[in-house]
Amino acid sequence: MLRAKIIATGSYAPAKKLTNLDLEKMVDTSDEWITERTGIKERRIAGEKQTTSDLAYEASKIALKQSGLKAKDIDLIIVATVTGDMPMPSTACLLQNRLEAKKAAAFDINAACSGFLYGLSVAESFIKAGTHKKILLVGAETLSKFTDWKDRTTCVLFGDGAGAVILEATEGENCILSTHIHSDGSLWELLNLPGGGSKNPPTKESINKGLHFLKMKGNETFKAAVRTLESLVTDTLKANNIKPSQLSALIPHQANLRIIQATANRLGLSMDKVVVNLDRYGNTSAASIPIALDEAVRTGRIRKDDYILLEAFGGGLTWASALIKW
Ligand code: UT7
Residue 25 per-residue DSSP state: T
Query: Domain end: 172, 205, 224, which one?
Result: 172
Q: Is 116 in the pocket of ligand 1 (CB under 6 A)?
A: no
Whole-structure pTM value: 0.97
- Active-site positions? 113, 253, 283
pLDDT at 1 over 90: no
Q: Is 288 in the pocket of ligand 1 (CB under 6 A)?
A: no
Domain boundaries, position 138:
3-172
pLDDT of residue 76: 98
Question: Could you tell me which residues come within 8 angstroms of residue 59 by beta carbon, excluding any fewer than 6 positions away?
Answer: 10, 11, 12, 138, 140, 162, 163, 164, 290, 294
Give the domain CATH number at 210.
Answer: 3.40.47.10
Distance 40 CA to ligand 1 centre (A): 13
How far away, in angstroms, is 157 Cα from ligand 1 center? 9
Residues 21 and 143 both lie in one domain: yes
Residue at a domain's end among 172, 203, 228: 172
Percent of the chain at pLDDT exceeding 70: 100
> Of 27, 217, 219, which is best to mutate to test ligand 1, by the most ligand atoms within 8 angstroms of its C-beta?
219
Among protein residues, the one with the nearest Cα to ligand 1's atom 36 is 153
Ligand 1 contact via 222 beta carbon (within 6 Å)? yes
SS3 of 89, please? coil
The reply to whether ligand 1 has any atom less than 6 angstroms from the CB of 29 is yes
Spatial neighbors of 17 by CB under 8 A, at least 6 apart, are 42, 43, 44, 45
Q: Give me the residues paired with residue 311 across strands.
A: 252, 321
Instruction: Please tell me whether residues 140 and 10 are part of one structural domain.
Output: yes
Spatial distance between the Cα atoms of 267 and 293, rounded to a whole number of angstroms: 20
* pLDDT over 90 at 276, yes or no: yes
Q: In whole angstroms, how far apart are CA 35 and each of 26, 42, 148, 222?
A: 17, 10, 20, 16
d(CA 21, CA 86): 32
Q: pLDDT tens, 106-164?
A: 999 999 999 999 999 999 999 999 999 999 999 999 999 999 999 999 999 999 999 99
Domain boundary among 172, 205, 235: 172
Gap from CA of 23 to ligand 1 centroid (Å): 15
Q: Mention every residue, 6+ apart, whose C-beta is less than 8 A from residue 7.
A: 67, 166, 167, 168
In the chain the beta strands, taken as DSSP E runs, fall at 3-12, 17-19, 42-44, 76-80, 105-109, 134-142, 160-170, 176-183, 191-192, 215-216, 247-252, 307-314, 318-325
Query: How many structural domains is the chain composed of?
Result: 2
For residues 26 and 163, membership in a common domain is answered with yes
Instruction: Give yes or no: residues 139 and 73 share one domain.
Output: yes
149 and 190, same domain (yes or no): no
Angle formed by the axes of helices 52-67 and 288-298, nearest 10°: 30
Residues 181 and 311 in one domain: yes
28/63 same-domain check: yes
Same-domain status, 199 and 75: no
List the helix and strand counts (H, then E) for the chain.
Answer: 11, 13
Regarding whether 218 and 80 lie in a shared domain, the answer is no
- If asked whether residues 201 and 161 sit together in one domain, one would say no
- One domain, residues 107 and 129: yes
Are residue 164 and residue 18 in the same domain, yes or no? yes
